Amino acid sequence: MKYIILNKPYEVLTQFTDETGRATLKDYVKVSGIYPVGRLDYDSEGLVLLTDDKTLQHRLSDPKFKIEKTYWVQVDGVPTNEALEELRRGVTIKGVKTAPAKARILEPEPQVWERSTPIRFRKNIPATWVEIKITQGMNRQVRRMTAAVGYPTLRLIRPAIGPLTIGDLQPGEYRELTPEEVTKLKSLTAGSTYTKPAHKKPTGGRHYDSRQNSSRPFRKPGK
């Protein structure tokens, strides 16, 4: 099995083909037969996990497991305590309330690479880095959450998925996971989600008796 993490650059699609000629994972990852787990928006940056382990891919994408994803979000302005509390409680997006998030202002600011296209700066309005951790995967969720509390996102980086961190990878760089990292990743989805369904006792008809290796009529107790 192959397990790869990539630092996806800004304005790169989280897929391997694009009919319109935009940059894709194929321009950076030279490993065949692997696919991204989940997605990261075209205008977002950071950690993308790729694998050919279909079972793990499916489980990590299953909302039942509530895999925590960490985002560093540069927002327009300085969020108030009230705004941060609102993110922690959950905000309503198009009639749907998000699950509670972990949110805090990053102090000191994270040391990140320069983006290929610089964000816009306004002299009288500072930009603030906020760390947001969520377990959901709604479309453009983090951007919509910060906008909902009054602080639009200027830049968004995902430095971690569960125990995996981007480390020193620069935009466009990737590496294989260590065996220890793979074990930790699989442990996130260990559980009963894929257990066999409970056996239902027959209520009539024929019943297979393994002791006799034959079929015999099944009768309800008392009959």
Per the annotation, the verdict on 41 as an active-site residue is yes
Residue 195 has pLDDT above 70, yes or no: no
Q: Could you read off the pLDDT of 167-194 as tens digits, one per residue?
A: 999 999 999 999 999 999 999 887 644 4
Domain with CATH 3.30.70.580 in the chain: 1-64+164-217
* Domain 68-161 CATH (choose: 3.30.70.1560, 3.50.50.60, 3.40.309.10, 3.40.640.10): 3.30.70.1560
**Between 102 and 194, residue with greater pLDDT:** 102
For the chain, what is the HEC assignment? CCEEEEEECCCCECCCCCCCCCCEHHHCCCCCCCEECCCCCCCCEEEEEEECCHHHHHHHHCHHHCCCEEEEEEEECCCCHHHHHHHHHCCEECCEECCCCEEEECCCCCCCCCCCCCCCCECCECEEEEEEEECCCCCCHHHHHHHHCCCCEEEEEEEEECCEECCCCCCCCEEECCHHHHHHHHHCCCCCCCCCCCCCCCCCCEEEECCCCEEEECCCCCC
**Domain 1-64+164-217: which CATH class?**
alpha beta
Residue 96 has pLDDT above 50, yes or no: yes
Residue 197 has pLDDT above 80, yes or no: no
- pLDDT in the model for residue 199: 43
pLDDT tier at 161, thresholds 50, 70, 90: very high
Residue 13 has pLDDT above 80, yes or no: yes
Domain with CATH 3.30.70.1560 in the chain: 68-161
On whether the CB atoms of residues 113 and 172 are closer than 8 A, the answer is no
pTM score: 0.83
Q: Could you read off the pLDDT of 62-73 as tens digits, one per residue?
A: 878 889 999 999
- pLDDT in the model for residue 79: 97
Written as six digits, the tokens of 60 are: 């990590």
The catalytic position among 18, 27, 41, 43 is: 41
**Between 223 and 158, residue with greater pLDDT:** 158
